[in-house]
A and B are shown apart, each in its own frame.
Chain A
């Protein structure tokens, strides 16, 4: 064991991205408290810069071999860096969208960038945790910030309800996580991932360990919003202000996915035969329910909630597919899914009437006749998220299908395929509204930031850029090889 102070001194330089975020959050609180509303604009801009900077730092200082920091509580490694980059950039994009939106609505509370930065800090801890304590701390930091964000519009009963619901249900899942962790600790004798893995290797466990593992998986399933632990998702998505929903749909999903991958393939890699059943069940139920339940939704945000449940099902299918291709496919899936998701939310935000963004499918009616460009972007993004070739989302589906089939989970792949067809039906419903219906009332013009985000996202979903897929593949593969 290294001396604590020496360890701290050696660890801090490796934690540059986290430190940057923490520093931004603390300074922004003080500055914001003094200058209040006037500071919202530039604090948000600074926040976008800080998030982007954290992502760049994470990539820039990516190690070639895993580095344990803070006495082994956290690790800087390939999967962590990959996830941090995705989290940071998607959070920056959604913060930019949100700031733009709140500037227009006049709801300029400076806590917005601060809370997002803190949530992202929590996610960074989640994805690089190496023991059950840091795992829990990361999850809680992220969740606490998220509760407040969900209840952002205090005067709006929907938003308050969303926040409360999120808080109560999430607290239960945190309880499950702690409860499960205590079992794991009790039956393996350690909170550290490597020690747990070693104990399992020596045959520790039995029913008690299984119990703990299943409880932890349920809790993590909740954080990923995988069915049957998804009940909070549609309500929270619907109740929260749209930019906050956009944030929820992006960065936290990456963090939960990376954390799930880490938990499955680091401490519990030796129990693969046992957890595979659970993860497969989560995957199948999420894919099927995510697509079926969305069919009847008319509210855009509820629809996107079910869409993300279904997509998490595909990610879980990747994760269930064993160490060879599983984690890589899940990471690639996330990387290709995120831009489409953010882009769709950007377009929803861009479709403003009377100062409010589009709420229902009917609000999209006839967009193709009003704004052909926006309709084109929408079409690309929706087909991408539906996994229809030639767009990027298809590649993501292809990669997880391949992982599952090579691992012998053919039935799961077929379930996924059928779910994807059902899911296509409701994405098509949006497209039908956009293209085939008579135009709804004229839109207010979209701001530059939103348009830019949407165009970038569509660009990333576009097949031409998918040609650069080799880079992404190599990055994900190296990352996973380094970590697991």
Chain B
């Protein structure tokens, strides 16, 4: 059966299915005009199947994909203009991130069920965002990559600005301009690389770097330009300041997408471009990256500890966890890279789930101030259990998906620099401190706030949202080998490209 589907342009289908759904909504809006409750419900019920279909299509691609083969599969290639091409293809690294995206989007739609304002626009933007995110992970042309990478800013900007909290406009601007500034330098570097190599294909560029190699002085500049973009996106300390603002103001589902997927683009970029294409510069900057990563881990954990807002706390914990990712990536070892990929996936699920947890109480009480809550376990036992699981995942408890990634990135870093690994280990302790404190303040104790006495436990829709996430966290925690075996070929190729060139 997989041969049958292998002939289909599966990646194009996965990428553009959400966009087709968005177009359908737009057309129906033109035809129906009216904005009544029935229409809004229709839009919701149209969006959800579209995202589920996309997930199924990506599963088909997953079935057809053979992880034991190194290199890109499911390749599609159409010439465009100026020597660029519409070129898609996946290796196991991109495949996992695509699955993460398609897996989380239907859950986000479920979590957005309560949105009442301009429902059609919201859903259209969300679907377009999904198309652009998937596109980032499966394109093989560096210009097309940039197109998707930057294009994602547009729907996110509007999502934060229209459906966000009180300071949404400020947050939306900061988000957009910060990331655009980082990316435009990358664009200059991309064009310079195309000028040197005469190709915009990512595999060709990687091959060029492996066989001929960019001039090592030039590598420094190119590396810095790419760093400017990915470090902002990831985000790394000290260019992370847009993230807490964006997270606090964004609507729940946008927070989920932001934390779970958009941040991963930074890590993906480091793995796909910086490491294999500029190995000398990556080697040169390893101490720099290690320092930033450790600072991010320790400092962001400390800052998280002092937050009064749940979303801000989780946002800072994201900064800390992404510190592990960069630590693993720039260790350049097999363990480090495997760990970084795993950590990205796990963080995608856990931080997404934590934002959904905040969303549940926010929907009921319209605040995410920590002091407002307390003793939720008395009224919402199921919620408290779910929240507990993801808190422990965030801490990196063995048995949850948070553990293997952290331990492997630290192992990888230990081989290069023991002090960096020690600093990161300190971060693990701190993460337990802030995450458990948050849990204690919100869920445990007695209900002090009278407004909370009537709060209801998870409803059916929320059950449906959390169940897949709980299952995924536990599977990845108890059987991480699933993921490791799958991503092995990519990690090997990246590590080989790096160590092959490093002196």
A337: CB under 8 A from chain B? no
- A421–B184 touching, CB < 8 Å: yes
- List the one stretch of B65-73, B152-160, B265-273, B466-474 in contact with chain A: B152-160
B120: CB under 8 A from chain A? yes
- List the one stretch of A3-11, A125-133, A410-418 in contact with chain B: A410-418
Q: Which of A353-391 contact B (CB under 8 A)?
A: 368-369, 372-373, 376, 379, 383, 388-390
B417: CB under 8 A from chain A? no
- A421–B180 touching, CB < 8 Å: yes
- B177–A435 touching, CB < 8 Å: no
Contact of B177 among A405, A424, A436, A470 (CB under 8 A): A424
Contact pattern, B 64-100, Cβ under 8 Å of A = 1, otherwise 0: 0000000000000001111000100000000000000
Contact pattern, B 147-189, Cβ under 8 Å of A = 1, otherwise 0: 1101101100110011000001100110011001100110110
- A398–B81 touching, CB < 8 Å: no
- A406–B151 touching, CB < 8 Å: no
B112: CB under 8 A from chain A? no
- A436–B147 touching, CB < 8 Å: no
Q: How far is the CA of A389 from the CA of B162 in the complex (A)?
A: 21
Q: How many whole Å from B479's CB to the nearest CB in chain A?
A: 39
- A420–B184 touching, CB < 8 Å: yes
- B172–A473 touching, CB < 8 Å: no
- List the one stretch of B190-198, B283-291, B456-464 in contact with chain A: B190-198
Q: How far is the CA of A463 from the CA of B132 in the complex (A)?
A: 13
Q: Which of A397-411 contact B (CB under 8 A)?
A: 398-399, 401-402, 405-406, 410
A472: CB under 8 A from chain B? yes
- B177–A425 touching, CB < 8 Å: yes
Q: How far is the CA of A383 from the CA of B152 in the complex (A)?
A: 12
Q: How far is the CA of A410 from the CA of B120 in the complex (A)?
A: 43
Q: How far is the CA of A402 from the CA of B200 in the complex (A)?
A: 12
- A388–B150 touching, CB < 8 Å: yes
| With A425-B173, A428-B173: A405-B184 Cβ-Cβ less than 8 Å | no
Across the interface, which residues of A come within 8 angstroms of B121, CB to CB?
A: 368, 372
Across the interface, which residues of B come within 8 angstroms of A424, CB to CB?
A: 176-177, 180
B118: CB under 8 A from chain A? yes
- A436–B118 touching, CB < 8 Å: no
Size range of the chain B interface in the assembly? 35 or more
- A372–B120 touching, CB < 8 Å: yes
A2: CB under 8 A from chain B? no
Contact of B172 among A379, A383, A432 (CB under 8 A): A432
Q: How far is the CA of A368 from the CA of B176 in the complex (A)?
A: 19
Q: How far is the CA of A369 from the CA of B188 in the complex (A)?
A: 38
Q: How many whole Å from A87's CB to the nearest CB in chain B?
A: 23
- B79–A436 touching, CB < 8 Å: no
Q: Residue of B at shortest CB range from A469?
A: B81
Highest count of chain B CB atoms <10 Å: which of A369, A390, A431: A390
Q: How many whole Å from A435's CB to the nearest CB in chain B?
A: 5
Q: How many whole Å from B222's CB to the nearest CB in chain A?
A: 12
Q: How far is the CA of A368 from the CA of B154 in the complex (A)?
A: 15
A467: CB under 8 A from chain B? yes
Across the interface, which residues of A come within 8 angstroms of B185, CB to CB?
A: 414, 417
Q: How far is the CA of A414 from the CA of B158 in the complex (A)?
A: 27
Contact of A432 among B82, B132, B169 (CB under 8 A): B169
A contact face: mostly helix, strand, loop, or mixed: helix
Q: How far is the CA of A181 from the CA of B445 in the complex (A)?
A: 87
Highest count of chain B CB atoms <10 Å: which of A368, A389, A469: A389
Contact of A435 among B153, B162, B173, B176 (CB under 8 A): B162
Contact pattern, A 80-119, Cβ under 8 Å of B = 1, otherwise 0: 0000000000000000000000000000000000000000
Contact of A473 among B81, B176, B188 (CB under 8 A): B81
Contact of B147 among A383, A394, A406, A470 (CB under 8 A): A394
- B177–A383 touching, CB < 8 Å: no
Contact of B162 among A368, A401, A467 (CB under 8 A): A368
Q: How far is the CA of A372 from the CA of B143 in the complex (A)?
A: 31
B30: CB under 8 A from chain A? yes
B372: CB under 8 A from chain A? no
- B118–A369 touching, CB < 8 Å: yes
- A401–B187 touching, CB < 8 Å: yes
Q: How far is the CA of A372 from the CA of B158 in the complex (A)?
A: 13
B146: CB under 8 A from chain A? yes
Q: Residue of B at shortest CB range from A372?
A: B121
Q: How many whole Å from B169's CB to the nearest CB in chain A?
A: 5
Q: How many whole Å from A244's CB to the nearest CB in chain B?
A: 32
B29: CB under 8 A from chain A? yes
Contact of A368 among B118, B153, B169, B181 (CB under 8 A): B118
| With A428-B176, A436-B172: A402-B151 Cβ-Cβ less than 8 Å | no
| With A372-B29, A398-B143, A424-B177: A383-B191 Cβ-Cβ less than 8 Å | no
Q: How many whole Å from A391's CB to the nearest CB in chain B?
A: 8
Across the interface, which residues of A come within 8 angstroms of B172, CB to CB?
A: 432, 436
- B187–A398 touching, CB < 8 Å: yes
Across the interface, which residues of B come within 8 angstroms of A368, CB to CB?
A: 118, 121, 162
- B118–A401 touching, CB < 8 Å: no
Q: Which of A436-477 contact B (CB under 8 A)?
A: 436, 463, 467, 469-470, 472-473
Across the interface, which residues of B come within 8 angstroms of A398, CB to CB?
A: 143, 187, 191
Q: Residue of A at shortest CB range from B29?
A: A372
Across the interface, which residues of B come within 8 angstroms of A414, CB to CB?
A: 185, 188
Q: How far is the CA of A432 from the CA of B158 in the complex (A)?
A: 8
Q: Residue of B at shortest CB range from A375?
A: B121
- A388–B188 touching, CB < 8 Å: no
Q: How far is the CA of A386 from the CA of B50 in the complex (A)?
A: 31
- A405–B195 touching, CB < 8 Å: yes
| With A369-B118, A424-B180, A432-B173: A413-B191 Cβ-Cβ less than 8 Å | yes
Q: How many whole Å from A121's CB to the nearest CB in chain B?
A: 33
Q: How far is the CA of A367 from the CA of B164 in the complex (A)?
A: 18
| With A373-B30, A467-B80: A401-B188 Cβ-Cβ less than 8 Å | yes
Contact of A402 among B80, B184, B194 (CB under 8 A): B194
Q: How many whole Å from B35's CB to the nearest CB in chain A?
A: 9
Q: How far is the CA of A376 from the CA of B26 in the complex (A)?
A: 10
Q: How far is the CA of A379 from the CA of B157 in the complex (A)?
A: 11
Q: For the A-B complex with A389-B147, A418-B181, A424-B177 known, give 9 more contacts whose Cβ atoms are closer than 8 Å.
A: A390-B148, A390-B151, A394-B150, A405-B192, A405-B195, A410-B192, A417-B187, A436-B169, A469-B81
- Which residues in B have some Cβ–Cβ distance to A below 8 Å? 26, 29-30, 79-82, 86, 118, 120-121, 132, 143, 146-148, 150-151, 153-154, 157-158, 161-162, 168-169, 172-173, 176-177, 180-181, 184-185, 187-188, 191-192, 194-195
A-B contact pairs, 22 of them (CB 8 A): A368-B162, A373-B30, A379-B154, A379-B158, A388-B150, A388-B154, A389-B146, A389-B150, A394-B150, A398-B187, A405-B188, A414-B185, A424-B176, A424-B177, A428-B157, A428-B173, A435-B161, A436-B169, A469-B80, A470-B79, A472-B81, A473-B82
Instruction: Give the 6 A-B residue pairs with the shortest CB-CB distance, closest first.
Output: A469-B81, A417-B184, A470-B81, A389-B147, A390-B151, A473-B81
